[in-house]
């Protein structure tokens, strides 16, 4: 499900590694207690992938929006890169995302 959005900065393997390290260090620092660190690491992994793939999902949504207005953009002479940036900024605000 989430892994289909992974053309992001980090590989799935690296994100998994980071998740396991976070759990290990939190347990060692006695900040959390768990008898199922693998399950905690899986949940952290899912959260990290969700956050890291947010920009990819926003970019996909921008492309869909601009495709719908392609004819209007051609008529008005609007620049695709400029419109992409404007729409992306609007969606980023809408989703309260930090990219």
d(CA 6, CA 49): 8
The per-residue pLDDT for 44 is 97
Cβ proximity of 2 and 46 under 8 Å? yes
Q: Report residues of the chain scoring pLDDT below 70.
A: 1-8
d(CA 64, CA 66): 6
The per-residue pLDDT for 38 is 97
The per-residue pLDDT for 26 is 97
The per-residue pLDDT for 30 is 97
The per-residue pLDDT for 39 is 98
The per-residue pLDDT for 1 is 41
């Amino acid at each position: 499900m989430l892994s289909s959005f992974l053309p992001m900065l980090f590989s799935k393997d690296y994100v998994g590694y980071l998740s396991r390290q976070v759990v290990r260090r939190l347990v060692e620092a006695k900040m959390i207690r768990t008898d199922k660190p693998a399950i905690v690491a899986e949940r952290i992994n899912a959260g990290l992938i969700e956050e890291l793939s947010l920009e990819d999902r926003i970019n996909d949504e921008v492309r869909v929006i601009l495709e719908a207005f392609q004819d209007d953009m051609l008529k008005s002479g609007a620049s695709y890169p400029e419109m992409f940036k404007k729409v992306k900024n609007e969606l980023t605000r809408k989703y309260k995302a930090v990219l």
